[in-house]
Amino acid sequence: MSSKSMTSEQGGQQAYREFCARQPVPLSHQPWWLDAVCGSTGWSAAVTEGGVWPYFRTRRWGLPIVQLPPYTTYAGPWWAPLPGLWPSHKRLRQEQRTLAALAERLPQSLFFRQNCLPDLVNGLPLIWAGFRLTTRYTYEIAAGQTVEYLYARLKNTLRTDLRHAEAAVEIEAALDGKRLFALYQASLRRRGLSRPSVPFERLVAALQARQQGAGWVARCCRSGSDVAGLLLAFDEQRAAVVVAGRVYEEVPSGALHRLYWEAICFCAERALALDFEGSMLPGVERVFRAFGAHPRPYLQITRLKWAWR
């Protein structure tokens, strides 16, 4: 990266930090989150007076690309709240101007891909800026529901799995980056995938330092070994499953389901909405639906360019 580009990216990061000091931003947009998953010099942002757009810039085959930061489901644009009394046409116009201005300030790259937050519903300005939009889905459980109410809404077969798991595994609160990553890595290996451990351990440390994370490990009562793990991140209003994984050899039935239920109870007791931030694979979707979660759409945006600076 040239010294000019480096200076520009450092300036964007500083302006972003100043914006976040004045305005509330979502959990995955917090500067400390980006420092953890990208490294303190591995990210920057497009910034205007009314909005921001953080990005993680890297290279593939020697070519510049922008993609989601590690262990982060949502990035994309965010803007300061607009006056509630504004008429809808004025609000939409301001949103369009902000998005257009932010898109112009993004770095040039061969390929760009991010997931926008579910709150972003008007993607027209992004289409006008040359992005391609695809609708994806997450599953959520709304805030303000009691544990008793949520348990009554579980699918019958899932309640059976949870009862079996109570006798087969012991749940331990463990915000431990190495243990959680080992269990997540076991799930990745089964699918022929891999993820870096260093950003994950930095993120766990940051969540622990800010008291904005919770982790659980399921230990087999018979062998005493760790068999499943789940990491949850949260702020004052929402929580999200960062990773969940398990080993596949002699795992007691319902071990991972038991951890999801632990996370649901944790959020219910604190009146937090829970975003599963999970896969759209049919088998995974069935599990989220069985927990009583509801689908919520979000936009994935991509852009391919053959020229960049």
pLDDT in tens, 229-266: 999 999 999 999 999 999 988 778 799 999 999 999 99
pLDDT tier at 10, thresholds 50, 70, 90: low
Q: Do 68 and 75 form a contact (C-beta atoms < 8 A)? A: yes
H/E stretch holding 242: strand 238-246
**122 and 153 share one domain:** no
**126 and 172 share one domain:** no
Residue 124 lies in a domain: yes
User: CA distances (Å), 189 to each of 246, 247, 306, in order?
Assistant: 11, 10, 34
Residue 292 lies in a domain: no
Q: What angle do CA 76, 275, 50 make, to 5 degrees?
A: 30
**99 and 45 share one domain:** yes
Domain that holds residue 28: 3-136+298-304
Domain count, the chain: 2
Residue 128 lies in a domain: yes
- CATH for 107: 3.40.630
Residue 165 lies in a domain: yes
User: CA distances (Å), 230 to each of 7, 34, 108, 258, 261, in order?
Assistant: 38, 21, 36, 10, 11
**94 and 171 share one domain:** no
pLDDT in tens, 63-118: 889 999 999 999 999 998 888 788 999 989 999 999 999 999 999 899 999 999 99
With a threshold of 0.85, does the pTM exceed it?
yes
175 three-class SS: coil
Percent of the chain with pLDDT over 70: 95
**128 and 201 share one domain:** no
